[in-house]
Structure 1
């Protein structure tokens, strides 16, 4: 099976889906490939900031996403041993401190709009295995497996939006600078107790950050920093003393925690690192999102940066420019912004404990 399109986007996360939609609107033929059968996975970044919100509103997507369900954070709170010690309120002109948007809601709206265009195709359960080159070394398509069927898709431009372990980036041979941050992250999700306000709550436990993110549909996402690489040894230790520290920090959660977090298996481990590539495209391939600049969870910048990448690149691509994109200029618009955000993440991580110093 062989298809030919203007644009082949690999990876149907928020950045890839938005870019595919915006390019389909510009009358370019687009195929969007996703290796998973189900598009939206749990435990991905799901918090919009004002920049991500503005992009979705500008493209007429936000209202439909809101109808499916989202939740605006009303406060950022710092807690110590069950006691609130500091509260941050949103700027009046913004009105929130982040918006929780379930990824299924975000992607379903974007893809629903994209599918209104006959020049857009979504192909799930399709894993890219290699790139196709012409005699001049330009990449002109991808090879993939759709289930057990081998497919080839020829395209004038390939977009790698396939995440931190990007196959496209590796096949093109673009190098990344990988940075460890000294910690990994344990995720868990529990039902919120009655009356829990839409908020982000922080605590300091044994010198490590514990974060609670209120979610739409009545849940709380727990993000607990642990020392880098420590989880295999941590799992060998008794579970109860570990979880008692969470209950001590937030006593209101005791019932929900005891009912829903009963063993190490109730946590999902995230290997935390960031990366950055100097080269964001080459010979018919462009990279966006985590494929070219993975963020840590700090500050919830990842989702919003991916949407900004898609929005920026879509403005530069047309039928006239598709084969003549200057990837250096394309990346220049975003590199400085991303470098600044990654520096902010490092600073926030280094200074987190100072938020609990009472003067």
Structure 2
């Protein structure tokens, strides 16, 4: 087997498979490595808004994703305490709908799409254990298969696309530039028979010190996520001892006055409840000599803002563009790293900062309640508010609209 490639990508899920596709289209030979064996599920909100569907369509993979019978949606209903914002996401390049597709379908289809390009090789069930260096430059990786067989691979660039707890990131000692720990524990379940009023839609709740998110997803199911404060000993004990019962109990007590308890009560849990006890919203240095990071390995954000999947696609496209501009990589690592950092901050930083705000257990102020009510009462402001999430609108544009409405009162 060939052991030398242009790029090695560690991690073959959304970020890694998308990057492999983009790199192959640009003419490079790519090795995809992943410790999992596919098809494989993983804990994730797995949601694409319309801005992401544009990129998936441009990649030529959207039709295959839609063949999984995962429903499209365009509406969101958001409840902030007693204020309800109900509207539709604005159009982005002809797309208005979102898609919340299960990872066991998504990752496999993206891998297959990448492998259909010339020059992409996938080895799954392979765990990277170290990097190879020539001086200060990373030139490859070492690792082992599940059977224990060791191997080494060499490349001009090694990319970490291996998620929130990236092993590659640790091996190259990428420094953390920003870090905001969450105040919440998160639990996720899948339910059959979950029924909504009207057309299918996303639900987001922030009521008191608890949050909830609901998405229509693949296999005729809805994915329900519940977040409560890490220091809440009662709910921590309930979820650790009886998670199935705890999901229903916290919906009844923590989200009373919303549709969530009644809908969840009538639904049937279809899979084991999974949880995550705290995480950091973090941003790492994205590139160094012979290495780079994409997806959650570069920056993990609170799932409640739903930006992880779009950022994985943006990162893959952005990194490929930079590599294409600087053909002599060995002479340009510092310039490439600075360029990558600048472009990723321009694209992602505003939503990263939103996530850092959501991730703290801070009640709405009276001023924020007033703004929420203003958004709920105005179709224009509602479209702009939802447009911040699918990047049709920048946060400062929403602020300008709201300031105009306030000054006109």
**Fold equivalence (TM over 0.5):** yes
Deviation at 1:338, TM superposition (A): 2.0
| Distance apart, 1:2 and its partner CA | 7.3
Does residue 1:142 correspond to 2:141, yes or no? yes
* Pairing 1:332–2:342 present: yes
Decide which of 289, 312, 321 is 1:315's aligned counterpart. 321
When structure 1 is superposed on structure 2, of 323-332 and 214-223 the one drifting more is: 323-332
For 1:237 and 1:115, the matched residues in 2 are separated by 43
Shift of residue 29 of structure 1?
1.3
Counterparts of 1:1-359 in structure 2, within 5 Å, are: 3-78=3-78, 85-91=84-90, 96=96, 98-134=98-134, 136-147=135-146, 148-176=148-176, 177-193=178-194, 197-204=199-206, 206-228=208-230, 230=232, 232-235=236-239, 240=245, 243-247=248-252, 249-257=260-268, 266-269=273-276, 271-277=278-284, 279-318=285-324, 320-323=327-330, 324-325=332-333, 326-348=336-358, 354=369
Which structure features the higher share of helix residues? 2
Distance 1:63 1:322, change over 3 A: farther
- Aligned partners of 1:13 and 1:39 also within 8 Å: no
Output one character per residue of 1:265-321: Cα deviation in whole Å (capped at 9) or x when no partner. 6343353321012x2111100111111111110220011001100011112224934
Deviations for 1:47-78, whole angstroms, at most 9, x for unmatched residues? 11222112111122212222233322232224
Q: What is the rounded CA distance, in whole Å, between the counterparts of 2:363 and 2:52 in structure 1?
A: 24
- TM-superposed CA distance for 1:109, in Å, is 2.9
Task: Answer yes or no: is the 8 Å Cα contact 1:187–1:270 preserved in 2.
Answer: no
Q: TM-score, normalised by structure 2?
A: 0.76
How big is the alpha-carbon RMSD for the aligned residues of Structure 1 and Structure 2? 3.1
- Aligned positions, number: 352
CA contact (8 A) 1:36 1:126 kept: yes
Contact 1:55 1:311 in 2 (8 A): no
Contact 2:79 2:207 (8 Å CA) reproduced = no
| Structure 1 residues 245 and 140: alpha-carbon distance in aligned structure 2, compared to 1, 3 A threshold | closer
Provide the C-alpha distance between the structure 1 equivalents of 2:97 and 2:225, rounded to a whole number of angstroms: 17
1:140/1:96 CA distance change after superposition, 3 Å: same
Gaps of 5+ in 1: none
In the aligned structure 1, how far is the partner of 2:241 from the partner of 2:219?
Answer: 33
Instruction: Give, in angstroms, the shift of residue 96 of structure 1.
Output: 4.1
Residues in 2 aligned to 1:293 and 1:80: alpha-carbon distance in whole angstroms: 27
Q: Is the 8 A contact 2:180 2:356 kept in 1?
A: no
TM-score (norm 1): 0.86
Q: Look up the SS of the partner of 1:68 in the other structure.
A: coil
- In structure 2, the CA distance between the partners of 1:2 and 1:205, relative to structure 1 (3 Å rule), is same
SS of 2:67's equivalent in the other structure is helix
Report the Cα distance in structure 2 between the residues aligned to 1:356 and 1:346, rounded to whole angstroms.
22
